[in-house]
Chains A and B, each alone.
Chain A
């Protein structure tokens, strides 16, 4: 039966707007959410009242300054606020290019928040009593070894940038162990994630950044000019955040190895390559994956996240401890790695993120992972073709060269023709129930940028809806640019002034600060 073509554009969409107060403003003296029952006299006379067992130095002298609000009002308050945001559950996460906003299966969320095997486990327990969780850690490590070809993984780092910092620390430890103290420099590229420059810099390296050449690939000649006996390593993202995959990546690796430098592969953008391309065959020495991107543990809201770090055998001694190991019978936590860079995170990382990764990989299987990659790339080809046909859009660099799973587009032509730029389009998007898209990391080498990533989770209808919204806004820009520039019209909040966000006089990040600045408190 043929599918009926239905209207995709949500032009009746209107976001909730609640004029919601700050929860402290809802406080009614004496109002309570829970009345904690006190121990009966009989019990208290035998074992004490509970509170007195807490050492005096830990006990509060004053009651906490929490707002006094009952449960029903607390519940309603946060529901109101949630209706004023647009998250991946309610909108098309295609907007967040580089974030890989695929579907985070609800069954995973359910398990991670209810299954006693994780919820009732404490990281300080004897490892013998958490064998199931350690098995999951061990198996996720084996899966990632297979996906990347690397020989060992650590699941300790708490995010992508953290993983890159860990890799920079491993590079530093490696050269130090060799007695080579000249290796003070790291080379990266302008289109790599900014953390590929920032984290080695924080780890004490001098950073050299390469600009893209005319084709949009990192300038190989520039890299050769930058490489020397002082180069500790190169840290690059491939495909870069523009979606352009560098097919000559092995030449860069060869050039770096020739001077004795290590090669670290930022695989945050691995979604289009699972089961197709591996760090090992490209000869990289270190790699990292974002488990909260590619492997579906939800991405956003400042975590939790995990940056899984993988290395070749010769770098295994430097990995963070403890390592999860299996002797054929039991899973153990091994701290006995004297050359380890140490701990990079509390306990052994974010266990619930590792758990969700395990579930996701198990639900997909090896062929499922590859299919996810293929679908994400296929989706992106369709999407890119359609977007490129929208008036005002240009796709800079690597003309005619394919992008993998995402694309950095530009509204430069729209800006020149109509004066409407990427920030204007972004504000109008919200009027159709689409969340703000990701523009670009700083610096904006691509002018008027917007970066979109369909992933494998969105179907053709989802993509067609997104395309129609951008077509509509482009049409509006050419016909009535002022209309677009005055958007949004149907959002919870109209036109926040960004200059206020940068003004220390106008910002308050705590209730106390807010009261002081409003003159409500001394």
Chain B
């Protein structure tokens, strides 16, 4: 019998409706409540859980107390075992983290959580190196992480399929978070915190189309990039799981969340900061090339999680020396939205807009639109 862990962040999303751009922090939460904000997450969680209730006899459910999971489970018709303790009405991020830790200890097969980027971050911190898959019910203000289903109902369906063993593919999805203070001041400053493992509902393909493997295509892409690497050229490898495949093909150490530098197929520097990277580029006698992929749920190739590759570095390297890599599935999922650039320099963003050739496989690429505006 598979085990499901349910965690709801009851205050997620409260900042949104009243325009506060987030609800991290007690003061902001107070402000939101004063402005009349009502909790959104519990309702959305219940919507997802109602779908799961269809298979309630096949699974065992653990829930955090009261409004952090138990209430929503009961409303949906589930009979959870309640674990942990909270101060009802005064929940904090620490509660989310403790909940996740307890679920891991119970060895659940899936953690279903309702919340936003902040909640995803908390779960990520708590889970640590553990490989337990999670799935997010979107209920926050900031949904930049890629760990969510499209909507609560879909979350319930994917979770049900996974718990019945009907879904076997797991993807690594980015956990992002935006600095809320900066966001309120009009600046977007997003960090890539890491990756969580998320079940993917596998689409059954008809025989005529043949089998499809995203992994195989990414391997082909990595082979293509490596085969085209030129001697004495500095390669600035951006963060992400897609670019990781390039480092793996080279057999080099790498940082998943950081920017690494490669020269003549050898590792030059791991996890460089902006200053260090600029000096490297300036002092290098020869060409440089930036290799990046789309990070986060909105498809940013610059500006989310790779701010170390700053405008001055992009200008120095030259916009004709940028290689964008991505899986074809990622681009198709992004359609019709363009890839986005948000370097912090609006003129540079404008120059980078247009079309870019995204390497998607061995000698295979897609011509994709890049924009400085998500609209």
The chain A residues found within 8 Å of chain B, CB to CB, are: 187, 190, 194, 197, 201, 205-212, 214, 219, 221-223, 225-226, 419, 423, 436, 438-445, 498-499, 502
Taking A221-B355, A438-B208, A442-B210 as given, write out 7 further A-B residue pairs in contact, using a Cβ cutoff of 8 Å, ordered by the A residue number. A187-B367, A208-B366, A211-B331, A226-B355, A419-B153, A423-B203, A443-B212
Residues 147-204 of B at the A interface (beta carbon under 8 Å): 153, 157, 166, 168, 203-204
Q: Would B335 and A226 count as touching, CB distance under 8 A?
A: no
**Nearest Cβ on chain B to A87's Cβ, whole angstroms:** 14
Main DSSP-derived SS at the B contact region: mixed
How distant is B374 from chain A, measured CB to nearest CB, in Å? 15
In the complex, what residues of A have CB within 8 A of residue B90's CB? none
Note all chain A residues with C-beta closer than 8 A to B369.
Answer: 211, 219, 222
Q: How far is the CA of A443 from the CA of B335 in the complex (A)?
A: 12
A442 and B212 contacting across the interface, CB-CB below 8 Å: yes
* Chain A CB within 8 A of B332 CB: yes
CB distance from B57 to the nearest CB of A (A): 15
CB of B332 within 8 A of CB of A423, answer no
- B1 lies within 8 A of chain A by Cβ: no
A27-B354 Cα distance, complex, nearest whole Å = 67
* A222 CA to B157 CA, complexed, in Å: 37
Q: Given that A211-B335, A441-B209, A498-B204 are contacting pairs, would A225 and B367 also be in contact in the complex, using a CB cutoff of 8 Å?
A: yes
B211 touches A445 (CB 8 A): no
Cβ contact within 8 Å between A442 and B209: yes
Q: Per-residue CB proximity of B310-353 to A under 8 Å, as 1/0?
A: 00000000000000000011011001100000000000000000
Question: B51, B212, B332, B364: which contacts A201 (Cβ < 8 A)?
Answer: B364
From known contacts A222-B355, A443-B329, A444-B203, infer whether A209 and B209 are also in contact, taking CB-CB under 8 Å: no
Given A226-B357, A443-B329: A197 in contact with B208 (beta carbons within 8 A): no
For B204, the chain A residues whose CB sits under 8 A away are 423, 498
How far apart are the CA atoms of A205 and B329 in the complex, in Å?
A: 22
Whole-angstrom distance between the alpha carbons of A58 and B192 in the complex? 67
Q: A423-B204, A499-B166, A502-B211 are in contact. Are A207 and B364 (CB under 8 A)?
A: yes
Does A207 contact B363, Cβ atoms closer than 8 Å?
A: yes
Judge whether B209 and A194 touch: CB under 8 Å.
yes
Complex contacts, B329 vs chain A, CB 8 Å: 443
Report the Cα distance A439→B205, complex, angstroms: 8
Number of residue pairs A-B, CB distance < 8 angstroms: 77
| A210 to B354 CA separation, bound complex (whole angstroms) | 14
Q: Which A-chain residue is minimally distant from B208 (CB atoms)?
A: A438
Among A206, A209, A226, max chain B CB count under 10 A is at A209
The answer to the question of B365 belonging to the interface, with a C-beta cut-off of 8 Å to chain A, is yes
CB pairs A–B below 8 angstroms (7 shown): A187-B367, A208-B357, A210-B367, A222-B369, A225-B355, A442-B205, A502-B211
For A214, what are the chain B residues with a Cβ–Cβ distance below 8 Å?
Answer: 336
A212 vs B366: C-alpha distance when bound (angstroms): 11
Evaluate whether A206 and B354 lie within 8 angstroms (CB atoms) in the complex, with A423-B204, A443-B328 already known. no
The A-contacting residues of B in range 111-126, CB under 8 angstroms, are none
Closest to A198 in B: B364
Chain B residues with Cβ below 8 Å from A210 are 366-367
Which of chain B's residues has its CB closest to A447's CB?
Answer: B203
Which residue on chain A has the smallest CB distance to residue B166?
A499
Contacts of A201 in B (CB 8 A): 362-364
A222 to B206, CA, bound (A): 30
On whether the beta carbons of A209 and B367 are closer than 8 Å, the reply is yes
What is the CA–CA distance of A443 and B360 in the complex, to the nearest angstrom?
13
Nearest Cβ distance between residue B369 and chain A, in whole angstroms? Answer: 7
B332–A445 CB distance below 8 A: yes
Contact B365 A209 (CB under 8 A): yes
Question: A197 to chain B: which residues have CB within 8 Å?
Answer: 364
- Give every chain A residue within 8 A of B153 (Cβ-Cβ): 419
In angstroms, how far is the closest chain B Cβ from the Cβ of A152?
Answer: 30
Provided the pairs A442-B212, A443-B328 are in contact, do residues A207 and B365 lie with their beta carbons within 8 angstroms?
yes
Residues of B within 8 A of A499 (CB): 166, 168
User: In the assembly, what is the distance between CA of A20 and CA of B360, in Å?
Assistant: 45
A207 to B364, CA, bound (A): 5
A222 with B328: in contact, given A438-B206, A499-B168 (CB under 8 Å)?
no
Q: Output the least CB separation between B312 and chain A (Å).
A: 26
Q: Which residues of B contact A209 (CB under 8 A)?
A: 360, 364-367
Q: A221–B205 Cα gap in the complex (Å)?
A: 31
CB contacts (< 8 Å) of B205 on chain A: these are: 439, 442
Residues in A neighbouring B368, C-beta threshold 8 A: 211, 222
**A206 in contact with B332 (CB, 8 Å):** no
Minimum distance in angstroms from A310 CB to a CB of chain B? 25
Chain B residue nearest to A444 in the complex (CB) = B203
Question: In chain B, what residue has the closest Cβ to A197?
Answer: B364
Asked if A444 and B367 make an inter-chain contact with CB atoms under 8 angstroms apart, the answer reads no
Using Cβ atoms and an 8 Å threshold, which residues of chain B touch A194? 209
